[in-house]
Chains A and B, each alone.
Chain A
Amino acid sequence: MIWKIFLFLLLSFVSVAGIIFPIVENPSRWYEFPLIPGLEENAKIIFFHVPTAWIAVLAFLMSTIYGIKYLRKKDLNDDAKSYTAAQLGIIFCILATVTGAVWAKFAWGSFWNWDPRQTSIFALLLIYGAWFALRSSIEAEEKRAALSAVYSIIAFFTVPFFIFIMPRIMAGLHPGSADDTNAGPVVDFKMNSNMQLIFFLSLIGFTILYFWMWNIGSKSIIYRDSLNKSYLKG
C-alpha cells in the first residue's frame, strides 16, 4: 500500500514539475530548466515521451524473455506473462508514437516524416500488431503460446537493426541521432541537474507503473485460467 502512495506522489510530482517548471536561458533557481538550443519549450516532452518509448521496448523484451521461458518449460503461466507484457507494450508503443508525432509537428513542422526513430517505432508497432494477429488466429493454447513465442524471438532479432543501424543509413533529425548537431546527442544530456532528476524520476515512476500493471494483468489471466481448469474438472 505504501508504495502505491509513493508511486502516486512520484508521478504527480513528475507531471506537475514537468509541465509547469519554466524554461529560462540562465537557470539560477532550483526549479528552472535550461534552454536547449533547437528544442526550447518542446524539450519538456522528454519527461513523457522517452519513458513511454522506453517501456514499449522493455515490454517487448520481457514478452520475448517469457516466450523463451515458455519454450524451455512449457508452463502456460509464462505465456500469460508474455501476453500481458505485450498488451501493455502496444499501449505504450502507441503513446510513444503519438507523443512523438505531436512533438515532431512543433519541432519539425510535420507529424510524420520517416525519421529513423519514427521508422523504428513504426516497425515495433507492426511487430506488435502482427504478433496479436498471429495469436488471435490460433485456437489451441499450447500451439498459440509456442508459435507466438517463436515469432517474438525472431522479431526481436530485427530490433538491433532498427536501433543501431537504421539511424546510420538514413539521415535523422531526432535528438540523439548521429548527425544531429544543434540539439543532441541527448545521451550526454544538455539538461541541467534538476531536469535530469525529473527525467530519471519520471523514468522510474513509469517503470514501476508498468511493472504494477503487468503484475495485475498477468495474475488475473493466471487466476482465470486456473479457475476455468478447476471448473472443468469439478
Chain B
Amino acid sequence: MRSYSLFRKDFSSEIRTRYAINSLAMFIIVAISVILFSIGNESIPAILAGGLFWVVIFFSAMSGLSRAFVSEEERGTTLTLQLIASPSTVFSGKLLFNLVLVFAMNTVISLLYSALFEEFVIKNFVLFLLTFILGNIGLGVSSTIIAAIIAKAGAKGTLYPVLSFPILLPLILTSVKLTEYAMDGTSIEDSIFELAIVGSYDVVMFSASYMLFDFIWKD
C-alpha cells in the first residue's frame, strides 16, 4: 500500500512536469523516423523488422527510464525518502512506476511500428502478447535497479546504457527470437523454451534486485 502511494507521488509529479513522458515520446518518434529514413523505399526482410523493433524499444527505454531515481537525486529528496520509507517500499514503488512507463511506451511503439512498417506482420498474436508482457517486465526490473545504481553514482547519463546493455542482452536476444517466431507463426508449444528463458530472467532479476536494493539505497 505504501509503495502504491510512492507510485502515486511519482505519477502526479510526472503528470505535472511531463519530463519523462515528453522525452520518451519524442525519442520514439525520432528513433522510428531515423529507421524509416535510412530504409527509404526499400522493403526490409521480416527478421530485420522484428530486430529493429527491439532496437527502438531498447534505446527508448535507455532515454527515459533512469528518471525514476535520478530525479530524486536532482531534487535532493533522496534523504527524505530514506527517512519515511523502507528500501523495499521505495524499490517496489519505483518499479511500479517504471513498469507502467515501460508498458505505455512499448504499446505506443508497437502501434506506431505496425502502422509504419508493412513488413512487421504478427501471425501468432498470443505469442507476441506473451513476449511483450514478459519482455516488458524484465526490461522494467533491470532498468530500475540500474537506474538506482546510476543515481547513486552521481547521475551519469551516459553510463546508463553502458551498464544496462550487458544485463539486458539475454532478454533482448531471446525477445528478438520470440518476435521472429511470432512473425513466422510458430506455435506457442514450439517456443515454450524461449518463453521459459524470458520468464526465468524476470524472476531471477526481480529477486536479485529486490535483495540488493538495500545495499544501494543505504549510504
What is the interface of chain A, defined by CB distance below 8 A to chain B?
Answer: 71, 119, 123, 126-127, 129-130, 133-134, 137-138, 143, 146-147, 149-151, 153-155, 157-158, 161-162, 165-166, 168-169
A166, B208: Cα distance in complex, Å? 21
Minimum CB–CB distance for B116 against chain A, Å: 28
Flag if B167 contacts A154 (CB, 8 Å). yes
What secondary structure prevails in chain A residues at the interface with B? Answer: helix
- B residues 161-194 in Cβ contact with A at 8 Å: 162-163, 165-167, 169-170, 173-174, 177, 193-194
Flag if B153 contacts A150 (CB, 8 Å). no
Flag if B170 contacts A137 (CB, 8 Å). no
Given known contacts A134-B149, A137-B153, A147-B153, A158 and B163 CB-to-CB distance under 8 angstroms:
no
| Chain B hits for A133, CB < 8 A | 159, 162-163
Flag if B170 contacts A162 (CB, 8 Å). yes
Flag if A143 contacts B170 (CB, 8 Å). no
Flag if A137 contacts B154 (CB, 8 Å). yes
Minimal Cβ-Cβ distance residue in B for A133: B162
Minimum CB–CB distance for B202 against chain A, Å: 12
| Chain A hits for B159, CB < 8 A | 133-134, 137
Minimal Cβ-Cβ distance residue in B for A156: B208
- Return the 8 tightest CB-CB contacts between A and B, nearest first: A161-B170, A126-B166, A127-B166, A130-B163, A150-B212, A130-B162, A137-B156, A138-B153
Flag if B212 contacts A155 (CB, 8 Å). no
Flag if A157 contacts B205 (CB, 8 Å). yes
| Chain B hits for A165, CB < 8 A | 170, 174, 197
| Chain A hits for B215, CB < 8 A | 71, 146, 149-150
Q: Residue B88 at the A interface, CB < 8 A?
A: no
Minimal Cβ-Cβ distance residue in B for A128: B166
Q: Residue B216 at the A interface, CB < 8 A?
A: yes
| Chain A hits for B216, CB < 8 A | 146-147, 150
| Chain A hits for B167, CB < 8 A | 154-155, 158
What secondary structure prevails in chain B residues at the interface with A? Answer: helix
A85, B212: Cα distance in complex, Å? 21
Flag if B170 contacts A130 (CB, 8 Å). no
- B residues 99-153 in Cβ contact with A at 8 Å: 145, 149, 152-153
Minimal Cβ-Cβ distance residue in A for B149: A147
Q: Residue B58 at the A interface, CB < 8 A?
A: no
A120, B193: Cα distance in complex, Å? 19
A138, B194: Cα distance in complex, Å? 37
Cross-chain contact of B163 among A119, A123, A134, A149 (Cβ < 8 A)? A134
Flag if B169 contacts A123 (CB, 8 Å). yes
Given known contacts A157-B205, A165-B170, A143 and B152 CB-to-CB distance under 8 angstroms:
yes
Flag if A153 contacts B152 (CB, 8 Å). no
Q: Residue B42 at the A interface, CB < 8 A?
A: no
Minimum CB–CB distance for A146 against chain B, Å: 6
| Chain A hits for B219, CB < 8 A | 143
Cross-chain contact of B170 among A134, A149, A166, A168 (Cβ < 8 A)? A166
Flag if B149 contacts A168 (CB, 8 Å). no
Q: Residue B204 at the A interface, CB < 8 A?
A: yes
Flag if A166 contacts B173 (CB, 8 Å). yes
Flag if A158 contacts B149 (CB, 8 Å). no
A49, B30: Cα distance in complex, Å? 44
A168, B177: Cα distance in complex, Å? 12
Minimal Cβ-Cβ distance residue in A for B145: A154
